[in-house]
Amino acid sequence: MITIRELKNPDWSAVWALLEPIIRKGETYPYNPEMTSEEACRMWVSSTQVVYVAEDDSGSICGSYYVKPNQPALGAHVANCGYIVGESSRGCGIATLMCEHSQKEAIKLGYRAMQFNLVVETNEVSVYLWQKMGFTIVGKLPQAFKHLEYGYVDAYIMFKALIED
């Protein structure tokens, strides 16, 4: 059973342990592969509105996500989220649970839609999952991501309305 709850200060080291290998690989997030824990904390925690963790039965953190406005002021009604799942926990439905949770939380926080600005085309698992969760590819950014293995690859902008008028 997975519990999703807000991040507490002592949780950061466990979140960093999940996030660091993902950043170092340079396959899905555009952050500097040499990013420090402090820089990552500013990016994942301090510059976001709220951060959640997914915790398994043993109390181990196996995933995390943040919610923040996609744009300031007149674009702040659209949420942006980032998700991570620990390598040993992938394929267990944790990303699906976090995406479902994030949409409900975004609505509670007053967001009307959610947008992912840079979903790397080679990250086929995420592209498939976000589409399964109702997100639509609304744009393709040619060679917008410098993949550390494949070089310059395309990325998608994905969008979902959370509240219909």
pLDDT digits over 6-15, tens only? 999 999 999 9
**Is the Cα dihedral 7, 46, 18, 140 positive or negative?**
positive
Q: How far is CA 160 from CA 50, 110, 119, 140, in A?
A: 20, 15, 14, 16
Structural tokens at position 24: 């170092």
Enter the CATH code of domain 3-161.
3.40.630.30
Is the pLDDT assigned to residue 105 strictly greater than 90?
A: yes
DSSP state letter for 135: -
Q: Put the strands of the sheet holding 113-120 in their side by side order.
A: 3-6, 50-55, 61-69, 78-85, 113-120, 151-161, 136-147
Arithmetic mean of pLDDT, 146-153: 97
pLDDT band at 100 (very low <50, low <70, confident <90, very high): very high
Lowest-confidence segment of 30-44, 61-75, 84-98, 120-134 by average pLDDT: 84-98
Segment holding 162, helix H or strand E? none
Residue 164's pLDDT is what?
Answer: 85
Q: Give the chain's mean pLDDT.
A: 97
How many Cβ atoms from other residues are within 10 Å of residue 91's Cβ?
9
- Per-domain residue ranges of the chain: 3-161
Work out the pLDDT band at 156, boundaries 50, 70, 90.
very high
Reported as a pLDDT band with limits 50, 70 and 90, residue 57 is very high
SS3 category, 130: helix
Return the DSSP state at 72.
S
- Quick one: pLDDT at residue 90? 87
Smallest CA-to-CA distance from 82 within 112, 131, 119 is with 119
Residue 34 confidence (pLDDT): 97
Q: Decide: residue 65, CB within 10 A, 0-12 exposed, 13-18 middle, 19+ buried.
A: buried
% of the chain beyond a pLDDT of 90: 95
Give the distance, in angstroms, between the CA of residue 121 and the centroid of all CA atoms in the same chain: 15
Number of Cβ atoms within 10 Å of the Cβ of 130: 23
Distance CA 147, CA 165 (A): 38
pLDDT exceeds cutoff 90 at 108: yes
At residue 122, does pLDDT exceed 90? yes
Residue 89 has pLDDT above 90, yes or no: no
What does DSSP assign to residue 45?
I
